[in-house]
Amino acid sequence: MARKEKTITNKNLIRENQPKIEECIRTLLGLLGDNPDRPGLKETPKRVAKMYAEILDGQLYTNQEIGKMFAKNFDVDTHNLVVVKDITFYSLCEHHIVPFFGKAYIGYIPNGKVIGLSKLARITQMCAKRLQLQEKLGDDIAQAVMAATGAKDVAVVLKDTKHLCVSMRGVKDDTFDTTTAALYGRFVTKKALRDEFYNIIKK
């Protein structure tokens, strides 16, 4: 299931909290046994706070808002399947706040309009800019695509995904990857359409 939609009215929230985030990072460095005043770490709190403002920007928007943000539409008279493959995404695991990354594959049936193909990549990347789980991310992307296109039939597959929370800690296994699928509309009810999409993304 996708995340519960929550509208944040202050879209500059993370940037406005930069001083507090910097202080938290400085405190953390000390608690981890290092000296936040040594030359190599002195500017680290500022860098980390700036980084979070960039890579967690999607936290400030709902799926609907992300869809509308990239809803540059073109009227079409077609109901043929549209597929975009190999969209690279980077996100942060919400359990350990370490990266996971992989490839997204999006398919949809136009409902009278399409969006620019690059917008599907932008939607994917913005949805990934959150503390996230892969199992949620596909649903988030699908809901944003529906908001952007008006389509009801949407499929999102995330695969070849590496989770550093598995590779760097715990089981410490970097030999496997994870695949998830989020299917809506006729991609659920029509096996032929689902098979067509899966066959395309295999190539």
Query: Annotated catalytic residue: which of 134, 135, 143, 196?
Result: 134
Query: Annotated catalytic residue: which of 96, 132, 135, 196?
Result: 96
Residue 94 appears among annotated catalytic residues: yes
Residue 134 appears among annotated catalytic residues: yes
Query: Annotated catalytic residue: which of 95, 125, 127, 132?
Result: 95
Query: Annotated catalytic residue: which of 54, 93, 125, 143?
Result: 93
- Taking alpha carbons only, the member of 195, 193, 162 closest to residue 178 is 162
Helix (H, G, I), strand (E, B), or coil: what is residue 137?
helix
The rounded distance, in Å, linking the Cα atoms of 57 and 67 is: 15
Query: Annotated catalytic residue: which of 5, 43, 94, 135?
Result: 94
Residue 79 appears among annotated catalytic residues: no
SS3 string of 45-111?
Answer: HHHHHHHHHHHCHHHHCCHHHHHHHCCCEEECCCCCCEEEEEEEEEEEECCCCCEEEEEEEEEECCC
Residue 96 appears among annotated catalytic residues: yes
Residue 24 appears among annotated catalytic residues: no
Residue 93 appears among annotated catalytic residues: yes
Q: Which residues are catalytic?
A: 93-96, 134, 163, 165
